[in-house]
Amino acid sequence: MDATGEGGSTLPLLIALTGAIGSGKSTLAAHAAAEAARTVRVEGFVQRAIEREASGRGAQSYALELLGRHGGASFPYLMRDESLHPPYRALAAAESRLDDWLESVRADSSPIDLVVLDEIGLIEAAGGGHCERIRALLALQPAAVLIGVNRCRLDVVEAALGVRFDVRIDAEADDAAARLGEVLQARRDYERIGLYGAAAGAIEVGAGSIVHGLQLPLGGLGMATTQALLLTRAAEGLHERGRVAWVALLSAGLKSLSPAGQRLGPMLAIAMQGLLYSRALALFGWNRFAVALGGAAMGAWAGVQGIAIQWLLLGRALLDAIELLAGGIARLTGLPTAAVGWLLAGWVALHAGTVASGTVLAWRQRQQALRIEPGRLSVALTGSAASSWREAFRRGARELTRPLLWVPLVTVLAVLALAGRPAEQLVYIALRALAIGWLVFALVQRVDLSRLPARLRLLGRWGPAIAWQRALRTLAGQEGKRPSP
């Protein structure tokens, strides 16, 4: 068995439904499949005990119940035979029916949401039993695979699959059914997040690269408003709306893979705005006020991010320069010193109000279908992380030449020099800003986001990993495609 299927297909969500013999694994799996089949395609089978002499002991015989649109049949499958190990013999007629069922499943080109495989154990791990059928089903690239397995065989089955299960659910636990339902619902949430993340990423890779590259006036405001619209429409279909932050985080990650490379400013803006928006939803729920507040927070960040980044680089020197500049403007124009502060506040308010209006508009139209066609989102993701620290620092040095960094630095130094600050202090400020900027830019260049799904799964964060995988599939033009049967 190989959980990645044939031809390097995308790894599905792997769920282990564990328990002892007779613990109710098959009943729980069949119930979950029936619930899911109301709205999505489900394929697979469960194994039903026919004659069990004692609890905790294998039955005298088992029947196989086929699931999904090509299933519905139940027929004898295994008979107890003490001369074998494990002590069961598969009936030839059952094997033939299984092969016919599998062919009908493979002939159907529609995507499979869930595959259920019950009582997978030592025989399959050794290459027998359902092993070849499992390979064939996994090659069809289902979104999720639910495997019923005896608790004491779990490690053996994982070794045969070649990967660890993303989720393990004890069928004997009181909340087993509820937890399984939550996992399957979360998986659908993250699939939606991946699609909207791909849409947001495509906009950032395309229009965003032009806006940020040319430094168009109010370009950041326009991009923030666009992202707010997408976040609002994405959140409408999520079971847990706080997960919408991952749409923005995916978009930021995809931005790093664009031909323009890993640009810290846009990536930080996208990520922070998504986190602020989702926080507003988490605090105040799914309503117009929360949406407007989240949009306002996104817009406010778009207005102040430039100052925030310069403060990180320049520290107190930035505030001193602003204070001196405000005083100079006040003396020349006769306006109060606070006028500069009011001007900055108006700038932030403009951004906050514009983005908030956009989110409210999206909220009002949330019931109208927003059709995202994956086939039209295909873009070239040619960016890559630096292969070495030397390359990372070389790219970081190139980032230091961008006007977004050195123009504010030169301006601050000029204001402080005119105010009579000593040359030693000016040199320290310049070197501090360049050193911090160089280090931060180099660190960002070393982050390899193309490997993020595998690392997230190792950390148990299978949801974001699934979203990232779908976003990459969509932008690579592979969404909805599957190997020919």
What is the DSSP secondary-structure string of 116-153?
Answer: EE-S--HHHHTT-TTHHHHHHHHHT--SEEEEEEEGGG
- Whether 178 has a pLDDT exceeding 90, the answer reads yes
pLDDT of residue 448: 76
Q: Tell me how far apart the alpha carbons of residues 62 and 47 are, in angstroms, rounded to a whole number.
A: 6
- The secondary structure element, H or E, covering residue 469 is helix 462-475
The dotted CATH code for 6-173 is: 3.40.50.300
Q: Tell me how far apart the alpha carbons of residues 224 and 270 are, in angstroms, rounded to a whole number.
A: 8
Displacement of CA 76 from its chain's centroid (Å): 42
Residue owning tokens 């109010």:
218
105-149, pLDDT tens digit by residue? 999 989 999 999 988 887 787 777 888 888 899 889 899 999 999
Give the mean pLDDT of 231-243. Answer: 92
Give the mean pLDDT of 459-468. Answer: 91
**What is the secondary structure of 340-404 as a DSSP string?**
HHHHHHHHHHHHHHHHHHHHHHHHHTTTS-----GGG----------SSHHHHHHHHHHHTTSHH
Map out the domains of the chain as residue ranges.
6-173, 192-385+447-475
In the chain, the percentage of residues whose pLDDT exceeds 90 is 35
- Whether 392 has a pLDDT exceeding 50, the answer reads yes
pLDDT of residue 9: 43
Residue 197 structure tokens: 């993340």
Report which of 386, 431, 422, 412 is spatially closest to residue 320, judged by C-alpha positions.
Answer: 412
- Whether 1 has a pLDDT exceeding 70, the answer reads no
Q: Tell me how far apart the alpha carbons of residues 249 and 270 are, in angstroms, rounded to a whole number.
A: 7
Q: Tell me how far apart the alpha carbons of residues 237 and 232 are, in angstroms, rounded to a whole number.
A: 9
Give the mean pLDDT of 369-391. Answer: 65
C-beta atoms surrounding 140 within 10 Å: 21
C-beta atoms surrounding 106 within 10 Å: 18
The values of phi and psi at residue 17, to 5°, are -105, 105
Mean pLDDT score across all residues of the chain: 84
Give the mean pLDDT of 15-36. Answer: 90
pLDDT-derived band at 262, boundaries 50, 70, 90: very low
9-24, pLDDT tens digit by residue? 468 999 999 988 888 8
Residues 6+ apart with CB under 8 A from 165: 14, 15, 16, 147, 154, 158
Give the mean pLDDT of 94-103. Answer: 91
- For residue 119, give Cα distances in angstroms to 35, 45, 104, 123, 463: 20, 10, 22, 10, 26
- Whether 8 has a pLDDT exceeding 50, the answer reads no
Report which of 476, 368, 457, 481 is spatially closest to residue 190, judged by C-alpha positions.
Answer: 457
